[in-house]
Amino acid sequence: MGKELKRMRYFDGLFLNAEDYKLDQDFYLRLQRLHNRYLHTWGIVCGLKVLPLVDQAEYMKVKIAEGLALNQVVAEDPSSGKRESISQEILMYEGHPDNPVDLSEYNANESIYIWVSYEEVEAERNIERGQGQEIHIWERGKIGHGTVKPGGTDKILLARVVPRKQDNGIVIDSACIFDYDSDAARTPLRTYAGAAGKKLVTEKLVIKAKSEDSMDSTELNEAALAAMPSVYTLQEGKMLEVNAKETHFTGAISIAGDLTLEGELILQSKDKSQSEMRIMNSFVEVNSPNTDDPDYEFPGPRDGGLEVYRGDGGTHDARIVWVEADQCFKAGIGSDLKKIAYGNEWDSLIKYEFADLLHRHSKLSSPGGLSFGFTGADKVYSDADLALKDDKILWLKGTNPDTIDSSHGLGWFGTGKPFAAAAVDGPVLFGGSGGVLGTRTVNSDGSRTDKPVLSWNKNGYVGVGPQKVLEDSLDVDGSVRILSGRNPVRFTSAWTGFPDNQINGAEISNDITDHKALMIVGNQSAGQGRKVAVWDRLDVNGFLYVNGKMQASQEIIPSAGNGAHNGIIFPANPGGGGSDLAWIKYYPRTGEDCTLEIGTSNDGSDHISLNASGNVGVGTLTPADKLDVAGELRVLSGQNPVRFTSRWSGFTSQSVNNAEISNDTTSYNSLMIAGNGKSGSRRVSIWDNLDVNGFLQVNGGALIKGDLQIQGSIKTDVFNFAGKFKKLDVAEEFAAIVRCADFYIGYPGRRGAPGRALVDNGSHLVLNYGNDWSYASVHSSLEVRNALIPSAGSGNNGIIFPSDPGGGSGDSAWIKYYPTSGENCVLDIGVSNDAGDRIYLHASGGVYANGSMYWWSSRELKDNISDIPVKEAKQLLDGLNPVSFKYKGSTKQRTLGFIAEEVPAVLADPDQRAISGMDIIAVLTSVMKDQQKAIARMQKQIDTLKGA
């Protein structure tokens, strides 16, 4: 019975931890499961019917109705190692994640068993309450299915599903779902749970004859009680006691002990009731009591028999009695009994006084004149039908004419009398070494012609045609036709063209004359020419030659390996050359590492070409370009390899010949082009124009042999320009030195003299030109070492960015600071003009709000307001995968959240780069409200079960 029962003892001041609460949970859970185990049987309690989906689009899915079942398993206590048998509740509820069940992986006419088992699932991960762990455990049913019927009591069988074919494919409807197995006995699959125990006592069973609506309690009188069912009392070790005027049993009754009847035995057939007792294939022992010795019922051999009571005190009762003194049976009326005898004893007994010479045992006649007798040659003949009782055998004489050879005969075999260990339930013709069935023709000259039609030998082999040595279970000498009259199949030794003569005919011919092949030719009923279909595995150990087209609706699985004849080997030398080959092979290299090899030989003119009207993908099913490689790519392998990677791998350090192009988003966050080190250090050369439209950062030296055009900014501590600088209308040539702290433009030989600003982007930079102040437009970066103080106000104040940078109309951006009422102020950061304009906040350390943060949510700002469907909310919640991560550049080592590219699109921005917390809160609220409803329903069901 397992370990002891132990629960918590509570009192004031007691310190509790999680293990204490778990102990109480385990106590009541174990007590309930022991109650289920020993007071109920395992099986279905209620519901759990297997139903087809009404939606025709889901024609290979079924649904398990709500319900409850009990299993029976042996559980082991991990602390003590003790084992005990328990019973767990298997609950299927509305919205169960396993429903509906997709059975599209199975074929038509395949028996699929559906069952449920017990499952515990940790759920509802909670960061605040559970420190990132699941805080609940779901106890629920788990739906399983397969083609092998499971055994044991841990899985509860629900039904057997057999999909069927129809015009639009394979479907499952109500006619495809069975509650019984496919065997001949139609074994039930659904087992129902109920009360269990070794003793059942029912002291009183009362069922009202009428409902309370149609009668008051005073109408339940003695007459009504007399018409009620029987009252039963059944106790262990005692008999069943029935105290009623009449008791009905509608099922089979099995009695292991004595059966005593104190009254008449009435057997009722379909149309009448009669007093009789019919016993088949058994013995009835009949005897009379020994009145001389009342202590012994049957002390020794005595007379006894059967009597048909005829109602006149026994004078005319019909009797069959065993007379112990005469050691024979006698039969007759009343006391006039005659000895029962047959054969020669009967002839001598009656002294031929009841039969003439023609009606003795040599000949039998019937009222119709038919006879059975012997010929002059001592052969038995019959002018009437010869019938043997179903348990008799007609034995034939063997080699000894004076004895019966029990190895030859004709008889009936069935239940209780098997033939070859089988209840044949029919006639059997058998012989010691076999036999023949044939025809005989008497010729005009008195001779005869015998033709064997069917023969068999002692090994059980059967032959059709001329008798010969049989070497197979069935040996047919000649053509064979089966299914004649419907869809005939003909077996021939030479091709006859049988399928050409009728659309439903087929032929299998072992032709050695014309085609010299075993020919399997199908019928023409498909309307597309003759057709042969193989529905299961076809093994061809030799050469398979297909003269026409070959189409496979499922996989073509060639052999695996790197041998000369493995994989797919195309015909050699299709162009007439020598040693030209092509192949597709799949084989292991080392361990479980395998390679799919596509190759050609014999010279450099043999090619492999991929011709695709769309794109070609490697490692992806949806290529986005003419060649799309989902993974690393290496070209020129074996010569000067170039590797394309998604993360810097240091490939160039492995060999001076190696180069790498890496779209690194992990360490360097850059598109990296690393050259080979053949010249002594890695080197990348660009032999044509290089346009840099963004920021150019040079961490080492820069050698520029031609003109340098810069459209963006140059940021460096010191910029040494050794070439010529020419801009706008300035005709002079300058040598320039630019430093971050100072900006100098000077003529040659006049270093440090003030010069002009040669930059322009629409803003202005004030420079000291000699003793005057002037404005220069800023085209490159502007660095402000101290505070930049814009104006305040809500008009054209603050920082106003240039409008329409994308070429649109009405696009603007600003940062303003202005009062709203009194001394209350607002920092206004805004963009306009459409939904594509956004504000990005980049803060590696996070964004803080010292106060409340609100989202605009007024109904006045919204259109198309509707509730979120619960099904959609659950699907969105299932699409969320919480992860932990670290923002690049952030000082915080661990952050919890989601990956924007992986969440459902409705929860992210249009670029799938950011997520909406408000949308996620709406999804969680919808799912939690639905779960609260489900919990309320379950609590109501639990309260109902407790009340029952």
Q: Express as a percent the part of the chain with pLDDT over 90.
A: 12
DSSP, res 419: B
Q: What pLDDT does residue 278 have?
A: 53
User: Crossing angle of helices 917-947/870-878, nearest 10°?
Assistant: 110
Residue 51's CB: how many other CB atoms inside 10 A? 13
CB-based contact 385:392 (threshold 8 Å): no
Bridge partner list, 223: none
Element (H, E) at 76: strand 73-76
Pair 678, 657: CB distance under 8 Å: yes
DSSP for 224-282, written as a single string: HHHTSPP-EE--TTS--EE-SS-----S-----S----SS--EEE-SS-EEE-----SS
The pLDDT of residue 167 is 76
The reported pLDDT for the residue numbered 550 is: 82
Give the per-residue pLDDT at 264: 59
Write out the H or E segment, with its range, that includes residue 36: helix 18-39
Check residue 901 and give its pLDDT.
93
Cβ atoms within 10 Å, residue 721? 14
Cα 643–Cα 645–Cα 647 angle in degrees, nearest 5: 135
Answering whether pTM is above 0.85, one says no
- Whole-angstrom CA distances from 731 to 191, 263, 723, 753, 758 are 102, 141, 15, 17, 12
Exposure letters 102-116 (e unless 16+ CB within 10 A, then b): ebeebeeeebbbbbb
Q: CA-CA distance, 225 to 208, in Å (whole number)?
A: 8
Helices (H) and strands (E) in the chain, counts: 7, 55
pLDDT score of 195: 66
pLDDT digits (tens, 9 = 90+) for 505-558: 999 999 998 989 999 999 988 777 888 888 888 888 888 888 888 888 788 888
Which residue in 852, 933, 845, 934 sits closest to 895, CA to CA? 845
First CA to last CA across the chain, in angstroms? 27
* pLDDT for res 731: 37
Q: For residues 166 and 197, is the Cβ–Cβ distance under 8 A?
A: no
The DSSP-derived string for 184-212 is TT--B---B--B--S----S-----SS-T
Q: How many CA atoms lie within 13 A of 54 on its CB side?
A: 0
Choose among 69, 64, 116, 61: nearest CA to 89: 69
**Residue of 635, 608, 630 whose CA lies nearest to 619:** 630
Q: In the block, which residue shows the tokens 């794109």?
A: 615
What is the pLDDT at residue 271? 53
Regions of the chain short of the pLDDT cut 70: 1-4, 54-58, 78-80, 195-252, 256-258, 260-301, 311, 313-314, 341-371, 374-378, 390-391, 397-406, 700-786, 948
Nearest to 655 by CA among 638, 633, 677, 675: 677
Pair 113, 157: CB distance under 8 Å: yes
What confidence score (pLDDT) does residue 251 get?
A: 62
pLDDT of residue 674: 92
Plot region of 175 (φ>0 → left; ψ -120 to 50 → alpha; else → beta): alpha
Instruction: For the chain, give percent helix, strand, coil, nearest 5.
Output: 10, 30, 55
**Residue 754 token pair:** 């003030």
Q: Are 740 and 783 in contact (CB under 8 A)?
A: yes
What sections of 61-206 are H helices per DSSP?
Answer: 127-130
Res 224: pLDDT:
44
In the block, which residue shows the tokens 């001598």? 348
According to the model, what pLDDT value does residue 478 have? 86
Kindly tell me the burial class for residue 124, based on how many C-beta atoms sit within 10 Å of its own C-beta (0-12, 13-18, 19 or more).
middle
The 8-class DSSP code of residue 461 comes to -
Nearest CA-CA partner of 90 in 112, 113, 114, 115: 115
For residue 276, what are its two tokens? 């009789």
Cβ atoms of 776 and 759 within 8 Å: the answer is yes
Q: What is the pLDDT of residue 756?
A: 36
Please report the pLDDT score of residue 510 as a whole number: 93
